Chains A and B, each alone.
Chain A
Amino acid sequence: MALSGVEIFKLLPKTNCKKCGFPTCLAFAMKLAQRQTTLDKCPDVSEEAKKILGEASAPPVRPITFGTGDKAVKMGEETVLFRHEKKFVNPNAFVLEIKDTEDDATVDAKINDVLTSEINRVGQLLRVDGICITNDSGDAGKFGALAEKVASKAPDVGVVVNTESPEGAEAALKHFSGKGAVLYGVTAENAEKMVEIAKNNKVAVGIKADGLEAAAELTEKVKSLGVEDIVIDSGARKASEILEHNTLIRRAAIKKNFKPLGYPIINFVQRDDAMYEALVAGLGVCKYSSIVVMSSAEKWKNLALFTLRQNIYTDPQVPMQVEQKIYKIGEPTPDSPLLITTNFSLTYFIVSGEIENSKVPAWLAVMDCEGLSVLTAWAAGKFTGAKIANFIKESGIEKEIKHRELIIPGYVAILSGAIEEKLEGWKVTVGPREANGLPAFLRSRAA
């Protein structure tokens, strides 16, 4: 990836035999540099070239899967530093810490917080993705017992096993063999033993280093010991350090293709105050963290963090959309009002929220406009009289309602004539401009 087309060309056979499907080796090299083809298309590359090119073409941040089954989350594979350049690929995991020194009730409550954390927001199911069990007691037996409990109560959930003791690791990890766990706490001192344990249990390794040089050294060591699924903790705890280290690690991976730092990052952001902790976690979301370990998972805190993560990880080129259909808000009857809007998630979310606020049951027709807001869609020619008329006819709503009145957004009042022309027998009513005018508008009509 860091190699240019010309650099790749130098490593190819230069015979222009066309077996790869390209007219020349150079043309093939250019496509490789743009990641539009793969090296295996050329049957004649040397082993040496394969090695160099293979390494260079691996994703700059190594992909790792955390958890299993439908709880699995993918991490890594990022390709940019700023989200306007290209979509951030794999959203970070939020992980709740449970210590083996906490009493049973606390442990149960925390496991429950994770299991019940799922929220549907703008059509996506969001949740706390994992649990970090911490060997606070230093006692392997206690740690093993906590691991067993978590494994049985929260199967498949990604688990970070946090201990520097090989005995503790043995005791806990056997409950998560092959379950997408991370053995965190691997240091220069304990690496040999710990990596062996991780390997035996087929889990990833979380290194715990002091600074970036030490981190790079340690990932190389872990790799030489036979594990390549690694997550990095550079030792950053203070918010300013988290920003610094995470930024430099991401730059190393993406701009320099520096493999020893090309791994997902784990950050520990625990703070004494849950609200404040959320802000530091937010820094992790914005700035390159793949696993954010927290000390609490209140519902209000989750909602804010999930929303931030959703915002940061949306595709800047393709807006978030909802399905085109007629949504029921409340329990609408054949006499309930019918409103129309576009399928930009944000628009849908705001408008449906305001209709809910009005407590007036209604039908909301949401038209596919490629995820554009009302005015943007109108300006782009996707929310026009003819298209709206067509959508209403084909939606089948005429069978559900008795009246023939369509309420349109105030900003596109100009469309009312065109719609009435195309939708025979219908009356168009112009609603308020801002959705927050809807409750008063709907209530006054209902009265």
Chain B
Amino acid sequence: MQIIENATVYDAIIVGSGAGGGMATKVLSEAGLRVAVVEAGPFFDPALPEHQTQLKWPYESPRRGASTRFRPFGDFDAAYGGWDIEGEPYTQKDGTQFDWFRSRMLGGRTNHWGRISLRFGPNDFKHKDIDGYGDNWPISYDDVKPYYDKVDKLIGVFGTNEGLPNDPDGFFLPPPKPRLHELFYIKGARKSNVPVYPSRMSMLTKKINNDRGVCFYCGQCNRACQVYADFSAGTCLIFPAQKNGGQVDLFVNCMVREVTTDAEGKATGVSYINKEDRKEYKLKGRVVVLGASACSTARILLNSKSKQHPNGLGNSSDVVGKYLHDSTGADRAAFIPDLMNRKVSYNEDGVGGMHVYSPWWGDNSKLDFPRGYHIEVWGGMGMPNYGFGFNVNEFNKFFGTKVGGYGDVLRGEAKKYYGATMGISSRGESIALKENYCEIDPTTVDEFGIPVLRFHYKWSDLERNQAKHAHDTFEEIIHNMGGIPLGDKPGKDRDYGLHVPGRIIHEVGTTRMGDDPKTSVTNKFQQLHDVDNVFVVDAGVFTSQADKNCTWTILALSMRASEYIVDQLKQQNI
């Protein structure tokens, strides 16, 4: 089969349209560069009525919003994809497990993410200095701070300046007031000496420019916002870049196979499979910017083998794919008797997700795990959805009355318990280990003939100890809220409730940055040590994750790397 070449030579080819690729698209195109954005999934714009799931009622889904293989977070979730995609397998090694979530669409996972937008703090870039684990980043908070500032102002994030040492202040929009169950959380957490602050999330509680609407509090950010009042890469970066006159060619449904190189080993562009006609194409570019997501970018690099790069592109260190790490996660639900018999006189949807949270408060030098976690809170009188009314009166057991039954009594019990359940989740930092990795599985290809990834990932006791601490904390807070923890506290046999790696969908580290080309894949400007015209702008470059979510840092770093690319092109260094 002949590979079809496009005659255009782009200044930059950007692979992936999520947070990293979207930011690169905006910065590079607004600097006057001609860019191609190559996205493996379809075009998506939540302002188009035919793409909208926002403000739909549960009965508009025949399964009432239940999850499917295509949308594990429910039938109305905006992120098409999941842990299991037809025709695009991945494999596991040595009996270990890593669950890989992909969303193939314009904007990728930013279309449904939780919008929890936390800066990394000074310690997060230099954690090895503090506890000896992992490695320091080659950059510090001061290097990234100006970009966090710019991202705050460009995209919009609500929160509050609290002067916390490792949860830096920023340029925040004002936060929404807490909901009822969140007031209970504040009370319970404080009693447990866990501080609580307004959450920091990228919804517009206030106007930020004339192109985007203001939040109208439907609580459905995971369905993508039709007035662009929350951050997703399409609505906030790529569409504005196009609107601002940028030369942006979108190639959707195009699955990148590899980065192509010339006789000197420099990148010449990418080859991709067009999913619509299943043929292979080539694009030419002066610079290739990979923002396909940590694992997809590693896969593309490892599949880009040539005489000059026999171990895969940028992989002379053999570090591509290594140091894969996800956030840790654990959750506990609770029944709060004081939240029974609620008045349904008001709309409690709020923003999509929590209005309050607890950043990590502990002192790890006195604990048996080196890194912290933050606490997220959920609950409230949400829209009835699939699962509503299941085991409707099981809480009767706490009052010694009969569980089950039929008839109008069930109606009364559904109302009595509506909004009386809430939950607490921890999202924490794991240690990046070389032994946790993805690599090419030589025995398996996807439906496009591209070799797939094989994962090897194990938690260590450091993460298990952290999860144990989190569950102990959950119980204490729940008791201090006057609540009853639901289910059993998971013990050692269940890894203390620690979710399987990949389940928190914060995977980072596969193309980590560093000063030493022998132990890292990119330099501190996210440029491959081995090939100066290839950059990585997704979370692959993270030397270490923090007890924060990764998106705000992906955005800040992609902006920084993109400005560097513009500068290097101007100086004709690449």
Chain B binds chain A: no
Residue positions of A touching B, CB distance < 8 A: none
